[in-house]
Structure 1
């Protein structure tokens, strides 16, 4: 992947995170922002929206850091575990989903039902399965487990700052932009790699006649 595509991926993901953060922020924290709409405080509404976009941009940067960290981890895992890397990832997926329910419930859910904690893990898993299926259909079957690992394990790691606070509005406010940015990056990566490979091939083909002419004129 050349630098031009890296920059394009960075800014497109940044835009997605910002816009989704602004939209989801109003929806997740509607009770707090509803008085602004009732009073038609246009200036405050715009300021709040831009603030939410700014927070969404931060979520996008966190997502991108997690994505490139996982690409490094994936290379390391393939080199170290070889054929066992996929089973190892499955173990981590199950472990992180169990922890997401169990540790949050014993920490925050003393007088609550476990269902709400279980629902979050189910939503995360379902989104991960959908994205992993789409990735495997677009590339190959071997991409299913790595994509599911990224969409579950890495997303939860990125989500930790809000998980520790356990504010329901903030939980979804951060989760949705993270999932959108993570899904976008992992689904578009192979397309960017293909474009980069095609551009590199074209450059080589363009250079060959020039080199041939130089040799003939030498």
Structure 2
């Protein structure tokens, strides 16, 4: 990966995060009308704030992405390839189980329906992204992609999960999943040698 390719990934991910945040914010506004608009200016100001917020989420997502790449590199260096695949799968399942069940049963104040919906949404998104990744690359990409889209995404969400407000969770989940999916699906295009990508 050279600087030009990284720069392209950085800016396109910013746009994906901003689009995701605007879409989530306007959808919540249409459903609940949480922010009262007194004029058209208020609407555009709200959309602009969402756009900037999406950029912040995308930067956060990119930090998580590069942290995952380092973790994956270290994992392959420490463990045999197959063992590291099983470890990633186990960690992904544990993260989903914790998100869906443990927070509700241990915390008590959380809604099981809310956590179940969130967990299933992340699971469905992870399976879909892993499917497209495998289709574009090979079968060995399934588990790393699934782990990144579940385990790493849930770790990136820990801060907002502690707040326990569904709207706040949705505000970060939509752009975060969009950015993570975009980056993992673009990765093989970026690291592919120039001769192969042009052929």
Above 0.5 in TM-score?
A: yes
3-state SS in 2 of match to 1:164? helix
- Give the match for residue 148 of structure 2: 150
Is 2:74 the counterpart of 1:76? yes
- Give the match for residue 24 of structure 1: 24
Q: When the two structures are aligned, how many residues end up with a matched partner? A: 195
Partners of 2:77 and 2:145 in 1: CA distance: 18
Moved more, 141-150 or 90-99: 90-99
8 Å contact kept, 1:28–1:170: no
Query: Deviation of residue 178 (structure 1)?
Result: 0.5
For residues 99-178 of structure 1, what are the structure 2 equivalents within 5 Å?
99-106=98-105, 109-110=108-109, 112=111, 114-178=112-176
Partners of 1:42 and 1:115 in 2: CA distance: 36
- Give the match for residue 51 of structure 1: 49
8 Å contact kept, 2:22–2:54: yes
Q: Deviations over 1:3-41 (max 9, x none)?
A: 0000010000001111221221122244212x31xx4x1
Partners of 1:122 and 1:201 in 2: CA distance: 35
Q: TM-score, normalised by structure 1?
A: 0.83
1:111 and 1:131, CA in 2 relative to 1: closer, same or farther beyond 3 A?
closer
Is 2:197 the counterpart of 1:198? no
Q: TM-score, normalised by structure 2?
A: 0.91
Partners of 1:148 and 1:103 in 2: CA distance: 21
8 Å contact kept, 2:89–2:147: yes
What are structure 1's unaligned runs of at least 5 residues?
203-218
3-state SS in 2 of match to 1:64? helix
Moved more, 143-152 or 78-87: 78-87
Partners of 1:57 and 1:184 in 2: CA distance: 14
